[in-house]
Every structure is written in C-alpha cells, then in structure tokens.
Structure 1
Amino acid sequence: MNNSAATLYCSNLNCQAPNPQSHNFCQKCRTPLLKRYLWAVGEGIEAYKAGDLIAERYLLKSDRIILDTKPALSPEMLPEISNSLMPYLKLSPYQLHVPQLYGLLTPTEGQRNAETWLLEQVPIYSCGNGEGTLMPELTSVWKNASAMRQLTWLWQMANLWEPLQINHVGSSLLTPALLRVEGSILRLLILQADRSSPVTLQNLGQLWSKWVAASHPTIGKFLEQVCQQLNQGAVQTAEQLVGLLDEAMETIGRSQSCTYQIVTRSDTGPTRRQNEDACYPPSPSSTNPSLPLAIVCDGIGGHEGGEVASHLAIATIQERVQNLLANPANPLNPTALTLELENFACAANDVISQRNDTEQRLDRQRMGTTLVMALAHAHEMYITHVGDSRAYWITRTGCRQITLDDDIASREVRLGYALYRDAVEQSG
C-alpha cells in the first residue's frame, strides 16, 4: 500500500481520488494527472528534508523542488502580498520566461518556520526521464547550441532587460545559475532583487563577454563587437540591443528553410446550439501553406452575431496579411510587422463595428469576437491576440501559455493587487 507521500490526488474537483505518482491518468475518472512542480522561496523550507510531506500536501522532492499532491485545492495566501514578491505579479505578461507566484507554504502542524513562498511555472521538467529536476543552465548548453539558438537566447535576454530593470530585478539576468533553458526558450528560476546600485547594460555586456569564446563560429565576431559596444556605452538602450540581434538573426535565417503544418479544428461545445467560432485556414490541415498564418476567433453577441463577427474578423485580417506579404516594397522589419498586425486587428474591429451599426444592434445584441493569430515570417513567429483566446507553446517537455488574457483579472495581477485565480473569483 502506498504511503501518503507517494500519493497524487486527481485534479478533477468532482473526483480527487488518490493515485500512485507513477500513473499518468486517474484510476477512477481517467482525468490526466496534473504534476505541478513548484519552487520554494524562503528559509522555512530548510527545516525539511527530501521525502517530507508538508502540510499533508506538499511533497519535498529534493532541495527546493516541491510536488503539489493536491493540485485541485487552492493554496493558502496571505491577505497582502509583500513588496519583495510584487515583481512576480507585475511581470506576469512575461510568464513564458518568468515564474509566477503560487501561494504560501503552510508549515506542518506544530512547527514554526520562516515564511516560505511557492512559485509555479518554474523551469522544472514535469514529465519524461528528467521529471522533477531543474532544466539545464544556459551556460551548460551554450557551446553546443547552433548560432540561431544562441542569438535567440540573447534576444530574449535583451527583451526582458527593460521590464526586469524597471521592477528592480534586472540582476536576475546577470546570474548564470538563474538562467535556465527549455530548448530555445530562456526561463528564469527566480527573480533576484537588485542591490543598492542599479544594474546596467554594461553589466550585461560583461556577462556576455564570457560566452564569446564558446559561441558558434558564425556569430563569434559579431558577439564580440556587441559586447564591446555594450561595455563602451555605444549601445545605450535595450531597444538598440534588440535591433542589433534582430539583424543578426535575419542574416542567419536567410540560410535556413522552414516547413509549417497548420491544423485547425473548431467545436460547438457542450452547451451551444451553433458554432460561433471560426478559424483560418478552414481546411483540417495544410502542410507548408503559401500563407503561413493561423487564426482562431471566438464570436459572441446576439442571434448568429458571434458567427458573423468571427468570420468577418478572419476575412479582414487574412486579406490584409496576404496583401502585405505580396508587396515586396514593404520593409517588413520586426517592429513594422508587429505594428501592421496590430493595425489589422483594429481594422477587423472597425469592420465588425460598422456591421453592428448597419444592422442597428444595441447593447448585448452587438456582436464581437476574440482573436488570436500567429504569422510566421522569416525566422520568427508573430503572435497577436485580443480577448481571452490564447496561444500556447507545446513541446515534448510541457505546455506553456504565451498570451495573457485581456480581462479584469489579468489587469489586477499586472497592477500587483492579486494572484490571477483570486482575481477571477473576485470578478466573478
């Protein structure tokens, strides 16, 4: 018979049956078992050893790695979140790279330990041979990576620089032990508070200088020059640094070819009588399509309104993207293309609004739609979204949400008022 420390409870609220950790599906209801690995922050965790079950729920696997054996239950929270933890909330739009605050680790009954917080979405493998272990440090895999992958990691650091610096945790990007990688994705283990003196791009240049010797021969000279510019103050903003890396990736990307497979499917769902969703391309699948564009819209509003709105949005955006890519005179640098896609979303909104006015729709009868789309161009993928339709990054090691819902709850998190699940409950 398995002891409690080896038990994983079903995440289905209507089931919550106990299961051995080795199982992938609940023995009772066949729901996939959620293996949520967490990272403990604080001195309180040092009072426990590997194998301990804390508060009859949290299994300490090793060091600070914890498995939540009852993922269906909400963790404990304090009425107020301390200022030291606020960056995790304010950086929630960067959840692909930055861990998120999960909850408070309640000490086992009878013990009084220092406050310990738990982080979720941390760089810990949740499946496969490495399950329950940290993902590798960037420095450990750097020398064997391709030129494009090395540039991609640096590009992500450059894009994270300003938001982390604004929240006084920029030093997180200067500590190699915190820089973990999941394939091409850079992930931070924790956020490290800056000391009294602010970090600078010169500090970043000094760190990157240590990687030049082991960089791919194709970009070695380029990276050396970038480090020199950073150290000399010639590159003064993160935006300039991103621009330099964009140019380098574009050069490398010209020698590479990409194959795309787009698969779309829409379902009416268990309650609706008609399907108000729409997607592009409408066919079930398309390998290496002429237009590497995927769109999903979830329509809302009035009799047949949602269905009309979602199709109007797709038709509007698809036409504009096609015209944009067909015009070789358009300078499609990353900034320009991002702005164009935002303009296309606004154009779709205008078309739907005009249709509402023409049909004299009022209040809840006015139709609308959410939107999420992905456009592949050169070496990059561009994501644009409106509403709560989401984009996810799915790999062999897990599934990560890329976009952040446009809702009141997400705004509350970004402002540092509450965790997302608490904000959802309050707004509901």
Structure 2
Amino acid sequence: MQNEAARLQCPNERCKAANNESDKYCQQCGTFIPKLYLWAVGSGIEEYRVGEVAAERYLLKSERLFLDTKPGLPPETQPYEITTTTKPYLRLIPYRLQVPQVYGFLLGHANSEILLLEAPIYSQATPMAGQLLPTLYDAWQKATSLRQLHWLWQIAQLWQPLSSERVVSSLLDLQLLRVEGSLVRLLQLQADQSSQPTLAELGQLWLELVDQAQPNIAEFLHQLCGSMLKGVLSTDALVTALDRGITEIGRSQARKLVVSTYTDPGPTRQRNEDACYPSSGTTITSPTPALAIVCDGIGGHEGGNVASQLAVDILQQVKQLPLDDINLDATTLSHELEHFVRVANDQISQRNDNEHRFGRQRMGTTLIMALERAHEMYITHVGDSRAYWITRTGCHQLTLDDDVASREVRLGYSLYRNALAQASSGSLVQALGMSSSAALHPTVQRFVLDENSIFLLCSDGLSDYDRVEEYWDTAILPAINGNIPEADVVARLVEISNTQNGHDNVTVVLVSCKVEYSEPAIPLSVTLVEDIAHCHERDNTAKAIAYRKEQTKVNLTSTRRLSLPIVLGAILLLMGGGLLTYFLLGLNRRNQPLSYPTMLSPIASPTEPPITPSVAASTLSVGTLVQINRQIDLEQNPNAIAASTSQSQIAQVPTNGILKVTGKKENLQQGDLLRLKFLCVTNNTADLNASPNATQLQQNTTLQTIQLGQEGWIDQTTLLPNIEKTLGQTRSNSCPISTNSTMPTP
C-alpha cells in the first residue's frame, strides 16, 4: 500500500482527501490538483532519501527534486528570512519565464537553509511528466538554425539583468541551462565570485557549441565568439548581432496566423466593461498585421467600459506603424508601442480630469496587446490582464500582474506565494488613465516564433483561480495540433470562465501561429558581426542606428576627421548664446518621429528623449516665457503649494498660450513646482507644427478658461512635454507676440 503521507492532499479545505500523483482532479470532490515540482538548492539536502517526505509535505522524487503534497496550502516561511541568496530570485521575477522563483524553504538536517525552486520540468501533458528538462547542450545538435540562434539570443538578453544581481555566472554552466522547446530556462542561480564574469568567458563557452551548430550558422557563430573573446562587443552589440542573424534566418520561415475573439459580461454583471480588438465574435485568418488587444475597464458604473473602449480605439492604430520598413528595428518598435500606450493613458486621464474624477471615481483600464511582426510577437502589458504562451510542451504565463504582490517580490521583500496571501495583494499599482504618463511603466516583451503555438490574451475573468493552468491541455492544446477550430476554443474558454468562475466579465483573444521552417540555402553572412563590431568600436549607439539605416560599412577614418569641426562648431554656437542658439538646440532631435494619426498627441517617454522639441528644465527659471502646444490645466489658488486639491481651483490654458514663469519652488524628491502667468494666445500657426485643432479654444465648459493676467501652479514635469518652444526671458508682463494674438473668452 502506498504511504499516505506521500499522496497529494486535495486543495479544497472542505475535502482534503488523499489522491494519487497521477490524478488531475480530486477523486472525491473533483477539485483541480496542481503539480508543484521543486528543485532543492543548499547544503544538507543529500541527507534526505528518495521517497521520504520532508517537513510533512515535500516528497523527494529523485535527487534534489521534490513534489509538494499539499499544494493548497501556502508554503511555510518561518523562521526563515529573505537572505542575499534569496533576493536575486525575487528581484528577477520579471524574467521568471527563464529564471526560477523561490517557492519556499526547507530546513536541512544540519539546520542549514534549503531553497525550494519552481523547477523547469516537463508538464503533466507530456510523456516525460515530472522529469527535468534537457540541458541546452544535449538538445543543441537536433535544433534548427533558427532555434539555436534563438537560444543564444535569450542568454544574451539575460546577461545584463543577471549581472546586476551578481549571478551572471549562472549562464556559464551548461548544466544549469535547460531548454523547453524554444525557451531557455535556468535550473538555479549561481552567485558570482570576487571577479564578475565577462562576455569573453561566455564566448569561450559558446565555442563548445559551434562544432555542433547547423552548417548555415556555424561560421557566423565562430566569428561571433571570436569577437566576444577579443572584447570588441558590448552586451547590446551581442544582442544586436544575434537579432540580425535571427532576422536573416527567419526569412526562410512561413507563417499562418488566426486571430479569434470573444467577450461576455458573465452571469453576474449587468455591464460588460471589457473591450477587445478585433471585435467580439470575430475570427480572422492571416490578418496583416496580426494585432490583438484586450482591455478590462476599471471604475464600474463610473466609466470602466468607456475607458476600455477608448484604449482599444487608440491602440488599434498601431497597425499604421511601418512594420514592413527594415529601418524600424526591434528597439524602436518597442518604444513606439510604449508611445501608443502613453497616448491612450493620457486620453483617458484627460477625460477623467475634464469630468472632475478623483480617487476611486477615476475610470481606467488594464491592457494586454499582441502584435506580430515577421518572425516575432510583441506583447505589451499594463495591469492584471494576462498573456499566456501555449506550446506542445507547456503553458507559460508571459506577463506579471502590476499588483501589490508582484511589487513586494520585485523589491525583495517577500516570496510571491506568501505575498499573494497578504491583504490587498491583488490591488493594482498601475493602470491606464489613473495618473500621468510620467508615472506609467508599460512592459513590452518580444518572442521569436519558431514552433506552432498559441498566444492567449484574457481578462482576469478567465485567469482567476488558475483556470488557464487547469484547462490549457484539454481546451487549448488540441488547436495547436489542428484538432479543433480556434473559434471553438475561444467559446469553450468563455464557457469555462462563466461556469467555473462567473464573478466578472470575461474576454478571450486567441492568436494561433502555425510555422513552417526550412533551412536557408545560403549560410548566414559573417559580415553582420564585423559591421556591428565596427559600430561598437566607433560609437555603439550612433553607429548602430546608421548601420540599420544604411546597411553599409562605416569609414571610421573619415568619420573621425569630421568630428573636430563639429565640436568646434558646437563650442562657437554655445558661446554665441541668446535666443537663436537655444532655438537651434531645441530642433536638434534624436530622430524624426514616425507619422501618427492626427488624433494622437505625441508625449514624452521617461525612457527616451521627448518627441516634442526638447526643453531643458534648468531653462525654466523665473522670467522665462514659454508657448504651449496643447491645452493644460493650472491650479489658480495662489497658495496651491500648501493647499489640498479640493481647495484649489483648476483653470485651463488654451492651445498656443503664452505663459511667463513668475515663481518656482524646488523639490528634489517630487519635482519642481512652477507658478505661471497667462499673457495671451497666438493664432500664428505657420511654424508651430500644430494639429488641425491647435487654434481652437477649450470647448469643455466643465473647466473655466483662465483669464488674461491670472496665475496658477503646475508640476514642472507635467509642463515640459507641453512646451512648443521657449521665448527667452523678460521683465515685462506684456505679450511678446502682439500681432495675431487673442485673449480667451470667459
């Protein structure tokens, strides 16, 4: 008879019946039983014997591999503490697709601390269920050229974040590098020694794989490793080289995509606050481009449905990006996706402000968006709507909820499963429309498509209570094998949500990707590595951009000869000073922005230079005149710095208003506050690059229009993206543009 202590306890608190390891559902009550296999790290583990149950719950299946027999209970953490060994796992939770998370602790026989990690093992849906995934070295020889490059690309992407936590040596141990289909997954983290590993050491390790690489990429990889050994490649240059290689090899791939959608209010809600794109009930084969969006509104009857639909209307315009343009590299595209998210955020936030919504009355929305481009899928995320990646070997949650629990883990304060048990753990820390774009941090992830798979986007009406993890193998996996249409899968998932959860609206979008790959006839050119190495030697950022645009080799000698005149010219311009010099500097932009629909107003991203003409914060001293390029709100209460929000009066300055900085209060922690005086409005738009509505005054009567001579306060970080240009300094309070100017009417 089987040892009862080694059997799985039903997670249902009212049942707790013992079940066999092979049971997916409790034999008595039918509750889903998750299988949590854990990899043990630490000293003292060798004293446990296979078949022994540690701490009355962890069954040792094989060397260092445990099974939690009580998956319904949170792991015990007392009297253990978060140590320097544990923190890197927690801080790297944004990379949990590749980096394991700490599930709990176990006390060794010698009172040593043992970490229990969520191990990279085969899922229950495969014949190898419960076994560790193969090492990258063992799987390398049978992989395609595209997959081999994809694996190395993932390792290169992990180099910098693991270096920051001093665990990058984990990428130098082939026994720790496991693979699941196209994914690289680490078995555990390994602390760096006194000297931090270098890319040269990584290149030396990769040389062990070159001899068994596919012929089409063998010479390319040999050249790449040589450049790494010479130290002529930075981490960014390494990623760029692999990126270019994947792009070239990916041209041999043919893809067929199907997008299917469905949204439903659910059995208990009167209103559906979810929205999706394409519209609900749609199934599209091979759309160009393949785009899918799910938004879950926040705010109930206060307007959650309005916010979600507004976000979808704006974000679907990413279709107008030049996705076929080879100059649009992955980094730029990621920034453009962030830009669209910030535009949607500002549109919703502005509507909240116009309708005087504060606190919990503000409407907002979560976001999950998938955009396919050639051999890649871009996932953009804000809030707690989720994206899952389903392959023949497993189901992977791609996004990390923007909630209190995840924040606690990111900061290294708590294990994730323990954080989930805390009060308000599911409260969102960010969503679209709740605050300014300066405080918004959308996540953009990129995945290479090299196998048949499905991307599932859904609101929490489905993802709550782990319904995706429970049903992926029976409801979704058959679609990958072509045994069920995508529309039927979507309908089935909505039914599961309504019958098994039923507490919320539900929206499901399925993006099915079928891939046909054949090895290219022409080997990958080694000049990709040579050109990028030269770019790095000269100027990694500037030359990489030039490489993407020109696709030609750079003449470093002639470029250096040009640098001296440029520097001298810059010095002369700075010495000239005055208004003309500053105006010229304002036009010195990083790049011309991509063309957007006229309804979209460019906004500055905190991770890149503003798209609008740049204005240095230091120039906004008392007496400076500025011209704004869109309507902004000022607090008219002269004591607004000390007053509460409810005591302040909000007034609106119309587009093209001329303002004078009359006061400034410095605050290094929260940002400077500026007092502005309204002088006039200019109607001369010939050189302002204004939108068609730039000369119209505010039509919304919910906010009063500021009057000539009135003053108000504004956060400097809020003002800067709205400035068209500065007009120098003056002691006068008269309008500097006396012609073609108007005053707002009350």
1:256 and 1:396, CA in 2 relative to 1: closer, same or farther beyond 3 A? closer
Partner of 1:94: 95
- Per mean C-alpha deviation after superposition, the further-off stretch among 409-418 and 207-216 is 409-418
Aligned AA (1:64): R
Q: Percent same amino acid among aligned pairs?
A: 57
2:216 aligned counterpart, secondary structure: coil
What's the offset of the Cα at 1:130? 1.1
Aligned AA (1:256): Q
- 1:38 matched to 2:44? The reply is no
1:340 and 1:186, CA in 2 relative to 1: closer, same or farther beyond 3 A? same
Listed as ranges, the matches of 1:25-64 within 5 Å are 25-64=25-64
- Per mean C-alpha deviation after superposition, the further-off stretch among 189-198 and 348-357 is 348-357
State the TM-score, normalizing by the size of structure 1. 0.93
Contact 2:291 2:370 in 1 (8 A): yes
Partner of 2:238: 241
What's the offset of the Cα at 1:251? 0.7
Contact 1:49 1:60 in 2 (8 A): yes
Of structures 1 and 2, the larger Rg is shown by: 2
Partner of 1:266: 263
Q: Deviations over 1:112-168 (max 9, x none)?
A: 553222111x21123122122110000111111111100100000000001111111
* Residues in 1 aligned to 2:326 and 2:213: alpha-carbon distance in whole angstroms: 33
2:301 aligned counterpart, secondary structure: coil
Aligned AA (2:143): A
Partner of 2:3: 3
Listed as ranges, the matches of 1:202-221 within 5 Å are 202-221=200-219
* Residues in 2 aligned to 1:19 and 1:266: alpha-carbon distance in whole angstroms: 36
- 1:226 matched to 2:239? The reply is no
Counterpart among 273, 276, 280 of residue 277 in structure 2: 280
Contact 2:75 2:418 in 1 (8 A): no
- 1:18 matched to 2:18? The reply is yes
Contact 2:133 2:178 in 1 (8 A): yes
Question: Any stretches of 5+ residues in structure 2 without a counterpart?
Answer: 425-746
* Residues in 2 aligned to 1:395 and 1:258: alpha-carbon distance in whole angstroms: 16
Contact 2:76 2:104 in 1 (8 A): yes
1:284 and 1:29, CA in 2 relative to 1: closer, same or farther beyond 3 A? farther
2:209 aligned counterpart, secondary structure: coil
Counterpart among 379, 384, 391 of residue 383 in structure 1: 379
Partner of 1:179: 177
* Residues in 2 aligned to 1:240 and 1:225: alpha-carbon distance in whole angstroms: 14
- Per mean C-alpha deviation after superposition, the further-off stretch among 275-284 and 216-225 is 275-284
What's the offset of the Cα at 1:14? 4.3
* Residues in 2 aligned to 1:390 and 1:275: alpha-carbon distance in whole angstroms: 18
Partner of 1:345: 341
Partner of 1:82: 83
Partner of 1:105: 106
Q: Deviations over 1:365-410 (max 9, x none)?
A: 2210000111111111111101111212222333222112222322
What's the offset of the Cα at 1:270? 5.3
What's the offset of the Cα at 1:79? 5.0
Aligned AA (1:260): L
Partner of 1:72: 72
- Per mean C-alpha deviation after superposition, the further-off stretch among 29-38 and 221-230 is 29-38
What's the offset of the Cα at 1:425? 3.6
* Residues in 1 aligned to 2:13 and 2:123: alpha-carbon distance in whole angstroms: 21
Q: Deviations over 1:324-374 (max 9, x none)?
A: 147x55732100110011111111111212222343333322210000111
Contact 1:2 1:20 in 2 (8 A): no
* Residues in 2 aligned to 1:76 and 1:269: alpha-carbon distance in whole angstroms: 36
* Residues in 1 aligned to 2:90 and 2:204: alpha-carbon distance in whole angstroms: 29
* Residues in 2 aligned to 1:88 and 1:154: alpha-carbon distance in whole angstroms: 21
2:210 aligned counterpart, secondary structure: coil
1:5 and 1:297, CA in 2 relative to 1: closer, same or farther beyond 3 A? same
* Residues in 1 aligned to 2:229 and 2:326: alpha-carbon distance in whole angstroms: 35
Counterpart among 369, 374, 379 of residue 370 in structure 2: 374
2:8 aligned counterpart, secondary structure: strand
1:226 aligned counterpart, secondary structure: helix
Listed as ranges, the matches of 1:113-262 within 5 Å are 113-120=111-118, 122-127=119-124, 128-235=126-233, 237-262=234-259
1:371 and 1:20, CA in 2 relative to 1: closer, same or farther beyond 3 A? same
* Residues in 1 aligned to 2:72 and 2:277: alpha-carbon distance in whole angstroms: 35
Question: Any stretches of 5+ residues in structure 1 without a counterpart?
Answer: none
1:124 and 1:273, CA in 2 relative to 1: closer, same or farther beyond 3 A? same
- Per mean C-alpha deviation after superposition, the further-off stretch among 179-188 and 13-22 is 13-22
1:40 aligned counterpart, secondary structure: strand
* Residues in 2 aligned to 1:154 and 1:271: alpha-carbon distance in whole angstroms: 48
Aligned AA (2:122): Y
Contact 1:303 1:365 in 2 (8 A): no
1:13 and 1:394, CA in 2 relative to 1: closer, same or farther beyond 3 A? farther
- 1:332 matched to 2:328? The reply is yes
Contact 1:5 1:52 in 2 (8 A): no
Contact 1:276 1:304 in 2 (8 A): no
* Residues in 1 aligned to 2:55 and 2:232: alpha-carbon distance in whole angstroms: 53
Contact 2:297 2:305 in 1 (8 A): yes
* Residues in 1 aligned to 2:343 and 2:178: alpha-carbon distance in whole angstroms: 39
* Residues in 2 aligned to 1:214 and 1:112: alpha-carbon distance in whole angstroms: 44
* Residues in 2 aligned to 1:28 and 1:204: alpha-carbon distance in whole angstroms: 52
1:75 aligned counterpart, secondary structure: coil
Listed as ranges, the matches of 1:389-408 within 5 Å are 389-408=385-404
* Residues in 1 aligned to 2:325 and 2:23: alpha-carbon distance in whole angstroms: 56
- 1:322 matched to 2:319? The reply is yes
Contact 2:295 2:308 in 1 (8 A): yes
What's the offset of the Cα at 1:414? 1.4
* Residues in 2 aligned to 1:288 and 1:12: alpha-carbon distance in whole angstroms: 43
Contact 2:302 2:362 in 1 (8 A): no
Q: Deviations over 1:194-217 (max 9, x none)?
A: 111210000011011111111111
What's the offset of the Cα at 1:301? 0.9
* Residues in 1 aligned to 2:246 and 2:383: alpha-carbon distance in whole angstroms: 31
